[in-house]
Each structure stands twice: as structure tokens, then as C-alpha cells.
Structure 1
């Protein structure tokens, strides 16, 4: 068999595709060659790769020989060319989809031999495949050591390398900032379900007006039309809908819509009007609408009439289960799947590997539910007709690389079980696992850690998906802390009725402590196993699963100590409660510091803006609770505890002078307790 030799001197010839996405793809391929290939002698021939337009289905490509020193890539559109170059880059240069996000160590070689056999792509089973870059507070405040736009370029590149073709390029202002870059890289664009047509939010455009469609329909129409005109030259799937100013239902701010009938009638009318506005400016537009949260409930009740030929985007509940999401304490768990009797409809899914609900979801750690669970839910959805669009909430990418890689395999039709995929993923990104008995043993040990991560997840409810991400140990602790201070612990925390039926704060805290205490050993053992592998796994291991397991372990331990502190408080042991709260705060601080310890090289500052789960805020709040407890037990003169902790026993009861030095701050007193001990503990 003859081969085409790819080396650093190979030239790409493009006369058929003047589009910017292809120009970018060509430059990216040259960069890949620079990363993977060594320079050769000047007299060496490099051959040519010619890009040719041909009659092929959209996004498909054919790679075939023209002669011994020329390879031809045929495609009908820009994405076909992009995917062909990505295929060569991965298959022959070894550039993996998450090379940037996983710090791939690329082994350079002098050349690569490409088979002269014709290679044709296959149509993926899902038409539109994409990510929603949502809750993107980490990548928004980080420049990867280059500039503010570079992380976003790396996001879009990884999506393309995963076979994706669609993106919501950020939330709110970020979406408007990066839609042009996403389009220039060849991606379709769609919009957040709270930002129909990508329009500016009414409350921002008209801060002095009530955001009521009933009062100002012409202003809403103007904003929608501005959004259409701004994006009309991009490839867009126009998201139509009407929610509220922010990720909340519009009727929370407009009480005129006080029945399901009124709400459904307005949404139906607006959907029809938005479609007409788009068609005024765009030829043959593609539409979608999100059946999400309360909108899905209205649709299931028959209150919403959708325009024809709209992609109906169903959504999981944020934890991977295809049921309606919990809203506060309201959790009806209505199935979020199309009925079998809906022929001719086009269906999509909005699925979370990262979720932010201020309750129990995951944002800086991986989805707590297993890939077996995720596969089962999505294959079931696919079987119910959800084949037109898969939109994955990918958040800040880096904490979620493993599940994103798994989902890319599903939307590309790869036939790997979750276990096979995991071993393949580890073998690719941890090359020390490749070959030999030692490598196989290491791969097995690493795979076991990933699998046990999901097995260790805290079950906060009885349903199969109700497993906690790191927000659980932070938001529940903060809710209980605020309730403790608000009325001295006399009333239950009503905002926690979604997870506990206990009706006093003390019983709620004990329920929480007992749950966390029971799950802490599993994460402690897993952390020890992951730590033992850090020498073999290297920085990537430390920056990924070891870090995430440590976040869970530290926050769990902090939650348990918080519960112990409240028990001491109720028993009147205020000095012990103060000290135990300090230990709890230290645990959360340790988790925050672990993230900072992974901020090295290009990742410097990546976790600096960790402001949604905000583990450091939990530590800060617990120290404020310490102050409250000290006021109760040591105030108003604040010398008693100081004497107990730092004075020798023979001097503690001799109070001729209350104190001989300045009053200690809470932190100084706590540090003294750590050094000298706490009387009675």
C-alpha cells in the first residue's frame, strides 16, 4: 500500500473555500503540525493537501489520494473541511480533542504516513451537537497567560474536535461578545433559554420600565429585532420563547399572568410573533424552543401551542434525569420526554454535566451520577425521538472534561461502553498507562478511582439521580448558618424542605450531619487512593480527579464539623462550638486552597473567580458564625475565653486585672486554641 507523507513541509492548497472558518482551520492545522512534527532537512519534499469542493452531504468529507505527493480533501461546506483536518490531526498527529484542557504531552516525530485508501466520514446520529458555555465565571476571569479571548477560542476548538457544530457562546454579555468568534470558527449559534433570539434583556435596556410585555410590547419587539439583525449573517438556530428577566418565570415579575391559561396564551402568541420577525430578515431559518422548568409543565398541560417545524428542546433536571427541574422546594418530577404520539416533530435535549441551583448541584466538580446512568438517560431520550439537537451545559470545561468526552462519543455514534470509554480516555490522556503489565495495572487503578467517585456521591434523596455535587455541602451549610444566626436556632430553615422534612433547625442540622458523616469515609478512602496515584498520574491527575475528590472530602468534613458545632451550641458549650466552627472553616479553606494549588502555568488564576459555589465564602461565613457564638459566650467584655485558653491554670481564676494584654481577635483566639487546646474538649 502506498502512503502520503505528512511532514512540516507539507502545504495546504485552498482555492475553493474562501470562508473564514476554513482559513482558521488551515492555520490551526499548521499549528498542529508545528506541535507534533519535527523540522526536517531543507531539501525534503513535503507534498500537498488540496481542499476541493464536492457534492457531499453537509458536514461530510472524503479524503482520497490524487497522486503520491498529493492528498485531496473533498467537502461541500466549511464544516466538512474542518472535520477532515481534525481527523488527520488526531489520527496521524495524535492531537486529542482536549489537548489544551488536559495538558496533553504531544510526542513529536519527523513525519506521519497517511494511508492512500479513501476515507469517508459517516453522518453522526445527532444533527446538531453542541455545548452551552454557562455559569462561565472561571474562564471569564482567566486569560491562560495569553489574552481574554484565548480560552474561548480553545473552548470552541475543543467542541469542534469533539465533533460538535453548535454553541451557546456564553451567558448574557459573553454570548454577544463571543458569537462572532464562534461563527468565524464554523459553529452554529443558538441562545440561552432566558435570552430569546439573543436579544438584550429588557431590564438592562430599559432599567426604569416594568418588564411587562402587556405594558410595552413594542419595546420587546424592538429588542428582538435588534438581536436578529445583529446575528442574521451567522449560522443560527433561533431560540424562541419568553421567560423572565433572568432565569426565572416572567409571571414572578408580572402578576397579571396569574393562571396557567394566561401564561400559556401569552407564550404561544409571542412564539408565533418571534418566528415572523426572524423570517422577515432571514431566509429558511431554523427555530428551537426550550421546554424547560415551568415552560415544560405548561406545555404538558396543553397550555402552549408551538409553531410548526420548531425543534422542541427538552431538558433534564440538572442532575441528568429527564424530568422537570426542582424549583425551590417544588419538585414535581414530571417526565421531560416527548410522547410517542407526536410524529413529525423535531426534538432536542438540553442536558447538564454542570449545573448551578444553589442547592446540591455540581459546578467545580464532575457530575456525581455515573456515565452508565447518563448513557441510559440519553439513549432512552434518543429512542423517544430526541435526535435533532443535543445541547450540553459544559460550564467551564476543565472540571468536566471526562463526561464531555464521553458525551461526544455518544453523539458521534461511537460504540463503546462506559467502561471501555473510560479506559480509552485514561490511556489517551495518561500515556504512562500505555502498554506493559505496570501500565495496565495503573490504568485499572485509575479507572477504579473514577468509578468510585460516582459510587461515593452523597445521596440527598431517594431518587436514583439525587446525588450531591459540591454545592450541597456549601449551600446547605450556609442556609443553616444563616438560620442559626437569624433567630438563635429556634426555627427551621424552610428553604431546605426540598431535602429534609425535619421541622426544627436542630433536627435539620442533625439530619445533615448524619448524612455527611455516613458518606465522609468513602470520600476519605478515595482521596487516599487518588493521592497514592498522584506520583504516577502526574499533574493532570492532581489537577483533575484528585482535586475534585479533595473538594468533596474537605467540604464533607467541614459539614460534619459544622453539625458538631451546632450540637455543642445547643448543649450550651459555646467555647467548644466556637472552636469546632473554626475547624469546619479550616476544612472549607483547605478545599479553596487546593484549587489555588492547581493554578500553575497557563492555569494561573483559573480558580481565582470561583464565585458560584464559592467554597471560600463558606469558610468566611463560618468565621462570622464563630463571632456570633463568641459574642453570646464571651461578651460583652471578651476576656474570659482568652484567660481560659492562654493563661496557666493557676492564674485563670485570679482576676485582680481582667487581662494583661490586648483582646484577641477571633482568629488569634482560635489559633491559640489549636495550639493550647480548649478546656473541656
Structure 2
């Protein structure tokens, strides 16, 4: 006869191992979730978390039925108990993995009858499964319940719910600060590829010295030894490596020297082997990794790098989801990753981006511009060449990336098979929306169809940084009267600003109608969801805000380009009006973001300093004022006389005696109104 265990308000989580911080946190989470899902009384019973020293040390757990009043979660490790608690939360209580980011809480019940005790950890192909929280702007400055620590705790919990076991908890000072809390949740931590061994940055400790290993090797050694000593009792994967102080090649900081590839490789090989020895002197069983990222991909493929055999090689995508080396500036070698030789048969993993920041065309506030079907196919290529021992995902600020992060978590499992964009989106929509599912699925699909492809390769798709960085660069070139747009050769090979803008205009114009149609569709759907507040808020934050950012950013960009073209023909008023329309697009976007319907997430984007929508609006406003200054006379009343005032009044030269000149906003509206009236 099958036993029933009644979960009610009287159910208590207990453990003899509560002094262990991971067990303690697992207990608190499961108790919290019970109280969030049941409201009725029942028998006084308990769920006990039990650490067993009779089992091999693994992440696995099993459920043991002691009696109708006692159920045990048993594991050989605290992490296993955490996974067991979260599996009960998911499967028995109905708490979704991303509940914190979707704000979905199941309907409360009087009691829950639990009779399926065959709960187990899934079989994972990927041994080390983790996230890199690479967002020092939004996540690190935002608070929930008046606490930023609470936000980080929910990030750790979400990762664990998905089956993750490893994290890079921010960069630089954030990473060091967050390590202990991450470990307390049961997570392994590791290091950013620009911060080898998690050591302090040389430039911060020695701000007056050149960050040169050749000049100051012992100072670097001291930083590394100190960091290793601080972490010797931690659950850490030591990331070896050597890069410059600003997430760049180390030789970029010594531009006066002409480095050969062999010289670069000699320095890196020397340092990697030294760091490896230092780590293993402190802990002979330590796990080490190295990021074969960016510039290292080229050197590796030239056969110049030599790492210890038991170091896990971590190979990276290009920031856009394709497994080739990344572009840096205009240098885009697209070095092969999946076919890189592995003569030592080293374990290999990947560093994969669903969020990226390159000051060019990456995505920071919006989903990855390449489709989830594209990502699924790319991940299967990774699996086929056995590069999935370790998978660390750059998740940015997490919130816009739920669709992709859920799919990558599936990839960690042994039974994963590639899926189409339709399958992935359908599952996502059905999990989060109860109404209009077909219509909402179409909106998600059309989002990826509308993305601009800016280069010849399939993965060269434009994220939210594309339009906003270009607008700011165009305005800078315009006001400087430059002959070309600076730092744009990655996008346009043409040399003159007119040719560059023609090329950009053609790219944007080809998709602008798609974005406008999608924007209208999303706005209508948002209103249609008004009867379901939870779904409406999720729709706004998961997809509508991304559509608004892309559509309005591109609309503003094309108007700036058109305004420049008209300005070159000396029609300052028409150019002024186009710039005003561009500014309105971005201002409306800023207002929309501030009017987020969620009381929890309404201020989440306040510290956006990468895409930097508010800075873009300020620069457009500056450009608008510039045209007013040079076109409307020193008293700024010529346009009012010519385009606004009645002709019988415009010749009277006492205007300043009755009222001051209109501001830029008002004069633009008045001119536009009169144009529309008399057209």
C-alpha cells in the first residue's frame, strides 16, 4: 500500500546537521516554500535532512520513508541535501525554478498529499555547471526587501534549482565579497578569466606601477600566493591565466613593444605552469582551469601554448553564441574552437554567453539576438566534440535571459537533444502564460526574425547595444565635424561618414517595418493580458521591454541618420524636427521603463550604464539644441516668427518684450503642428 505524507502548516523541516550552512539554507528554503504553498493544518510531521557517511561522496540524494510522520532526504553531501530539498519544492510543491525572476507562485492549497517518493537528481553529462554573474551595474546596485544580499541569495538558489553547482559571483571586489555566501549555499566558486586565481588586480594594488610581468614578476607572484592562501580551505576551481588589467591582452598595455606570437606564448606558458605549481603546493588535489579565450585562441591554434594535462581548458564562444573566437575592436579572426586539436586529451569545457558587452552590437538589456534554436544546435556541436566537462554561462543580469538559461540548464543533462526554436518558445510560453499562448508564441518568434544581421556570418546579429552606441558615435562625429564615425570599422569598411551612414541606414531600414509591426502587436497583447496581472507583468519584463528597446532604438537611429543627411543639405529646420522625433522615441522608452508595472522590478534598470539609454537621450537633446543654436539666431526666435506666428505678427520686433523664446521641445512641436496643419 502506498504511503501518503501530508504537507501542511504543521510540517517542519529538521536536521541534526543544521550547523552546516548549506544544510541550514536548504532547510530554510524548503520550510519557506511549504509555508508559501499550504495554508491548512494537518498532522505534526517532519521532513528530515540527513547526511550519511556510509555513501560515496556525490551530489545524489534519495528519499527515505520512515513513517507517515517522518520523511528523510538522504545524501552524502550538503549539496546533495540542497538538491533534494529543491526537488521537493519543484515537484511536490510546484515552485518553478525561476520563481524569483518570474514572480510566479502557485495557488495556495489547504494541504498537499505527497506519495511519490521516487525523486532523484537527474543524470548530468556536465560535471561543473555554472553561471558567471557578469553585471556590476544592475544586479550589484539593485535591492529587493531593502537588501542586495537577498538578491544574491536568490540568484544562488535559482542556479541550484536548475542543477548548477558552480558560480563566478561577479567580478573584482564583488566576486571576493560574494564568495562566502555562494559557498554557504553549496556552490563551488571559480574566477573571472581576467582575474587569475581570484587575485587582486595589479593596477589596484600598485596604481603607480606599470602592470608588466617582465618588470615586476615578484609583485605578481606575491598577489597570487596571497590569493591562494586565502582560498586554501574553500571549495574552489582555480582559474589560471594572465591578461591585461582591463580584460584585454597583456601586450595591449605595452604598445611600444612589437610582440611576436612566440614571445606572447612564452610569457603565458611560463605563468600558467608557475601558477599551477603554486596552487598544488597549497592543495595537491586542487582542480584548475584556464580560459582559452580571445587572444589565447589564436595562440593555441598556432600550436604555441602548453598547459598541464589535468587543467580543464575552457573555450569560449564569440559573445553571440557561435563557438569561434571573439571580435576585439575590428579584429575578428573567428578562430576555430570546436576543431582545436587536443593531443593531450585534456578535459574541456566552454564559457558561453547569453549576455555580452562589447560596445558594438551585443545584448545587455535584451535577449541574445541569435535564436534559442541556434543556441541549441551550437550546444550539440559542443557535446559532439566532448567540450562539456565544464559549462560556465555569462548570464549578465539574468532577468532578460530566462528563455536561454532554461535551455542551457537542460543541456547539462545526459539526455539532452537539440531542439527547434518552435519547441523551446512553446515550452517557455506554456510555462508562463495561461491565455493567448499561440499569439504570444508568435511574438517571441517574430522577435528573433526581426533582428538585424549586420555581417556576412549567421551569428552576426544586433543586440540592444547596436543602435544606442551608434547613435552616440554618430552624434560625436557630427558635432566634431569628423570625416568618419570612430571605432566603426567592425561594421562598415567605408571610409567617409556619408558612406558609412548610407550602409548603416540600409541595414536598419530593411528591418524597421518588422520592428514597428512587432511593437504594435506586443503593445496590444499587453493590454489583452490586463485581466491576469502576473502574466501581464511577466510579459512586459520578459519580452515587451526588449521589443520596445530594439524598435525604438533603431527608429531613433534611422532618424538621426536622416537628420544628418538633411543637415548636409542645409535644411536645418527639417533636420531639427527629425532629431526631435528621435529624441521623443528615446524619451518615450525611458518613460516606459520607469513605468514598469511590477512594483518589484520597476527600478531594476535604473543603473543601466552599458546600453545607457538615458545618456543616449541626453546626447540627442544636446544635438537638438546645437541645431537650434546655429539655425535659430542668437535670440532663438527666428523659427517662431517664420513657422509659428501669424504672418501679420511675425514682422513686429518686440517679441522679447512679451515672452521669452520657446524651448527646443515646444518649438519643435509647434513647427510640426503647423506643418501638419498646412500640408
Q: TM-score, normalised by structure 2?
A: 0.94
Closer, same or farther: CA 155–572 of 1 in aligned 2, 3 Å: same
- Quote the offset at 1:17 in angstroms: 6.7
Q: Once structures 1 and 2 are overlaid, which stretch shifts more, 294-303 or 667-676? A: 667-676
Deviations 1:377-397 (A, max 9, x none): 111011111121111110111
Closer, same or farther: CA 679–369 of 1 in aligned 2, 3 Å: same
Q: Tell me the SS of whatever aligns to 1:210.
A: coil
| Partner residue, 1:207 | 207
| Partner residue, 1:408 | 409
Q: Once structures 1 and 2 are overlaid, which stretch shifts more, 360-369 or 475-484? A: 475-484
- Quote the offset at 1:598 in angstroms: 1.4
Q: Distance in 2 between matches of 1:77 and 1:177?
A: 25
Q: Distance in 2 between matches of 1:302 and 1:659?
A: 79
Q: Distance in 1 between matches of 2:635 and 2:242?
A: 57
One of 471, 495, 500 as aligned partner of 2:492: 500
Closer, same or farther: CA 258–343 of 1 in aligned 2, 3 Å: closer
Q: Tell me the SS of whatever aligns to 1:422.
A: helix
Closer, same or farther: CA 159–116 of 1 in aligned 2, 3 Å: closer
Closer, same or farther: CA 550–224 of 1 in aligned 2, 3 Å: same
One of 517, 530, 534 as aligned partner of 2:522: 530
| Partner residue, 1:437 | none
Query: 1:394 and 2:357 equivalent?
Result: no
Closer, same or farther: CA 426–300 of 1 in aligned 2, 3 Å: same
- 8 A Cα contact 2:4 2:114, kept in partner: yes
One of 404, 410, 425 as aligned partner of 1:422: 425
Q: Distance in 1 between matches of 2:428 and 2:5?
A: 28
**Where does the alignment leave 5 or more consecutive residues of structure 2 unmatched?**
530-534
- 8 A Cα contact 1:645 1:678, kept in partner: no
Closer, same or farther: CA 165–257 of 1 in aligned 2, 3 Å: farther
Q: Distance in 2 between matches of 1:95 and 1:614?
A: 35
- 8 A Cα contact 2:309 2:344, kept in partner: no
Deviations 1:278-331 (A, max 9, x none): 223224111111111112111111222112211111111111001111111111
- 8 A Cα contact 1:483 1:493, kept in partner: yes
Deviations 1:163-189 (A, max 9, x none): 111110012111111111111111111
Deviations 1:419-456 (A, max 9, x none): 334333322222x24xxxxxxxx222222211111111
Deviations 1:102-151 (A, max 9, x none): 01032111222333554333331101111110033111111013312111
Q: Tell me the SS of whatever aligns to 1:495.
A: coil
Deviations 1:188-233 (A, max 9, x none): 1111111111111111111111111111111111111222222222
Q: Distance in 1 between matches of 2:609 and 2:603?
A: 13
Q: Once structures 1 and 2 are overlaid, which stretch shifts more, 267-276 or 522-531? A: 522-531
Write the mapping of 1:531-550 to structure 2, written as runs, cut at 5 A.
Answer: 531-534=523-526, 535-536=528-529, 537-550=535-548
- Aligned CA RMSD, in angstroms, stands at 2.1
Q: Distance in 2 between matches of 1:214 and 1:257?
A: 15
| Partner residue, 2:79 | 79
Deviations 1:629-672 (A, max 9, x none): 23332344533223224322233355577875434443443344
Closer, same or farther: CA 220–32 of 1 in aligned 2, 3 Å: same
- 8 A Cα contact 2:537 2:597, kept in partner: no
Q: Tell me the SS of whatever aligns to 2:101.
A: coil
Q: Distance in 1 between matches of 2:40 and 2:439?
A: 38
One of 493, 511, 514 as aligned partner of 2:506: 514
- Quote the offset at 1:599 in angstroms: 6.5
Q: Distance in 1 between matches of 2:47 and 2:245?
A: 53
| Partner residue, 1:566 | 564
Q: Tell me the SS of whatever aligns to 1:100.
A: helix
Closer, same or farther: CA 657–184 of 1 in aligned 2, 3 Å: closer
| Partner residue, 2:480 | 486
Closer, same or farther: CA 547–494 of 1 in aligned 2, 3 Å: closer
Q: Once structures 1 and 2 are overlaid, which stretch shifts more, 591-600 or 662-671? A: 662-671
Q: Distance in 1 between matches of 2:659 and 2:161?
A: 65
One of 598, 601, 613 as aligned partner of 2:599: 601
Q: Distance in 2 between matches of 1:461 and 1:445?
A: 31
Q: Distance in 1 between matches of 2:336 and 2:353?
A: 16
Deviations 1:551-582 (A, max 9, x none): 11111111121121112101110111112111
- 8 A Cα contact 1:13 1:51, kept in partner: no
- 8 A Cα contact 1:167 1:182, kept in partner: yes
- Quote the offset at 1:77 in angstroms: 1.0
Deviations 1:245-275 (A, max 9, x none): 1111111112446221111111111111111
Q: Tell me the SS of whatever aligns to 2:502.
A: helix
Q: TM-score, normalised by structure 1?
A: 0.94
Write the mapping of 1:60-71 to structure 2, written as runs, cut at 5 A.
Answer: 60-71=60-71
Closer, same or farther: CA 570–282 of 1 in aligned 2, 3 Å: same
Write the mapping of 1:9-48 to structure 2, written as runs, cut at 5 A.
Answer: 9-16=10-17, 18-40=19-41, 44-48=43-47
One of 465, 483, 502 as aligned partner of 2:459: 465
- 8 A Cα contact 1:137 1:611, kept in partner: yes
Closer, same or farther: CA 507–339 of 1 in aligned 2, 3 Å: closer
Deviations 1:5-34 (A, max 9, x none): 222322333225742111111111111111
| Partner residue, 1:132 | 132
| Partner residue, 2:614 | 616
- 8 A Cα contact 2:361 2:465, kept in partner: yes
Write the mapping of 1:229-240 to structure 2, written as runs, cut at 5 A.
Answer: 229-240=229-240
Query: 1:449 and 2:443 equivalent?
Result: yes
